[in-house]
Amino acid sequence: MYNLQPQGRGKYIPNPRIQLGAINLYGTFPQVGEIITKTLLNIDYLPQVLISYRHIMNTKNDFEAIGNMFGGNVPKALHKFYSNDVMALYKTMKDHNQINKLCQFMAKDSGITSAPNVISNDLFNHSMDLYQTISKMLFGNVHQNWLVRDYIVDNISLKTRNVSLKVTSLKRWQDDHRRASTMRMIQGVSEIKVDKKYNGALNGLEYPYELISSKERLVQESVELGHCVATYANKINSGLCGIFSIEYEGKRWTLEVSAGERDGKIGYAPIQLRGLYNAQAPDLLLSKVSDILHKNSNTTLSKAALEKQIRNIEPVELLF
């Protein structure tokens, strides 16, 4: 299946690559693309994962398509998670047999469907996602979900398969993530252009802060604080996040904010706030940042709805 791109005067030429996911007819009603997708592939749903058509054909859902791609069935226990997250895990694991370990943990853990509010505001009431679940299985808490997520993203970017659910050493994960994120930075960082919707996100915060708006400043923040925010250039350019640097008690902290839009109104969510070598920020600073973002939001979005909106734009690379 090839993508036809308009060339003027009603002429179309094929884009020389196989399309992934649902069929998108540019300049046409999206409903037409939905009908063609379902008719040609003999499915009754719209695929969300970016998988070639030959894996999606005749499937009932995204998880069957993922199973086709990797030569097996995705356990039903994983169907509760975003399909793109499951796809990312399968794509980066050393050994898919380790999925059984995750399913066994989910079957035994009674608190698997209820995540604590890491930052206390109403945007963070949601069930545990895949990364929180893996964090709890490996490290006994959900707070290392960012590390699991970022290391998976590192492997996707580097086209490697080094993720192992047998490794339970937090230091080993941190070291592997640090090496991988350094390799990503070496690959080059794009120039950045921050979406204007982030300009007023922290208005009223009582501590000095800066909205990072240049490639040079982004790399500086990443190098001096020893984390991988320099790999966020594409996310910034896609409008998926804004990166802030905050001064608090003589130290610098890096904040990632995502903005969701509904009916022309914007809701902000604090995704993560980290210090030197990804140190967890103090509770007071977390609370202050959360309150300001909530105050500057003119619409209320649940975090689940916000994450779904973000993932529909860029389904794999999320969060640092």
With tokens 């990072």, the residue in question is 212
Instruction: Give the pLDDT band (50/70/90) at residue 122.
Output: very low
Q: What is the pLDDT of residue 81?
A: 95
Region 268-274: mean pLDDT is 92
Q: Is position 320 within any domain? A: no
Q: Is position 319 within any domain? A: no
**How far is C-alpha 281 from the geometric centre of its chain's CA atoms?**
21
Q: What is the pLDDT of residue 159?
A: 92
**How far is C-alpha 255 from the geometric centre of its chain's CA atoms?**
15
Domain boundary pick from 74, 99, 124 = 74
Q: What is the pLDDT of residue 184?
A: 81
Check whether residue 309 and residue 232 sit in a common domain. yes
CA distance 293 to 201: 6
Q: Is position 138 within any domain? A: yes
Check whether residue 254 and residue 161 sit in a common domain. no
Check whether residue 106 and residue 157 sit in a common domain. yes
Question: Considering only 26-30, 77-81, 180-184, which range has the smallest mean pLDDT?
Answer: 26-30
Does the pLDDT value for residue 96 go beyond 90?
yes
What pTM value is reported for the model? 0.62
Share of the chain above pLDDT 90, in %: 55
Residues 224 and 216: beta-carbon distance below 8 Å: no
Residues 253 and 281: beta-carbon distance below 8 Å: yes
Does the pLDDT value for residue 302 go beyond 50?
no
Give the angle 155-161-165 at the CA atoms, nearest 5°. Answer: 95
Check whether residue 215 and residue 305 sit in a common domain. yes
Q: What is the pLDDT of residue 11?
A: 53
Check whether residue 136 and residue 114 sit in a common domain. yes
Q: Is position 130 within any domain? A: yes
Does the pLDDT value for residue 266 go beyond 70?
yes
Check whether residue 69 and residue 93 sit in a common domain. no
When divided into structural domains, the chain yields a total of 3
Question: Considering only 162-166, 171-175, 258-262, 274-278, which range has the smallest mean pLDDT?
Answer: 258-262
Question: Considering only 181-195, 250-264, 290-304, which range has the smallest mean pLDDT?
Answer: 290-304
Burial of 230 (0-12, 13-18, 19+ CB in 10 A): buried
Check whether residue 146 and residue 227 sit in a common domain. no
User: 219: closest CA among 171, 261, 260, 187?
Assistant: 187
The residues with which 280 forms a beta bridge, in sequence order, are 274
Exposure string (b/e) for 159-188, b if CB count within 10 Å is 16 or more? eeebbbbeeeeeeebeebbbebbbebbeee
Check whether residue 172 and residue 100 sit in a common domain. yes
- The residues, any chain, with a CB within 8 Å of residue 85's CB and separated by 6 or more, are 129, 130, 131
Q: Is position 87 within any domain? A: yes
Instruction: Give the pLDDT band (50/70/90) at residue 109.
Output: confident
Check whether residue 94 and residue 178 sit in a common domain. yes
Q: Is position 296 within any domain? A: yes
Check whether residue 50 and residue 88 sit in a common domain. no
Q: Is position 191 within any domain? A: no
Containing domain of residue 280, as a range?
196-313
Check whether residue 214 and residue 298 sit in a common domain. yes
Region 60-71: mean pLDDT is 94
Does the pLDDT value for residue 139 go beyond 90?
yes
Domain boundary pick from 19, 39, 74 = 74
Does the pLDDT value for residue 157 go beyond 60?
yes
Q: What is the pLDDT of residue 124?
A: 39
For residue 3, give the 3-state DSSP assignment: strand
| Sequence letter at residue 144 | Q
Region 91-108: mean pLDDT is 94
For residue 243, give the 3-state DSSP assignment: strand
Helices (H), the chain: 30-41, 53-56, 62-70, 83-92, 99-108, 130-139, 145-158, 170-186, 215-225, 233-237, 283-295, 303-313
Domain boundary pick from 74, 100, 121 = 74
Q: What is the pLDDT of residue 121?
A: 38
Q: Is position 150 within any domain? A: yes
Check whether residue 129 and residue 161 sit in a common domain. yes
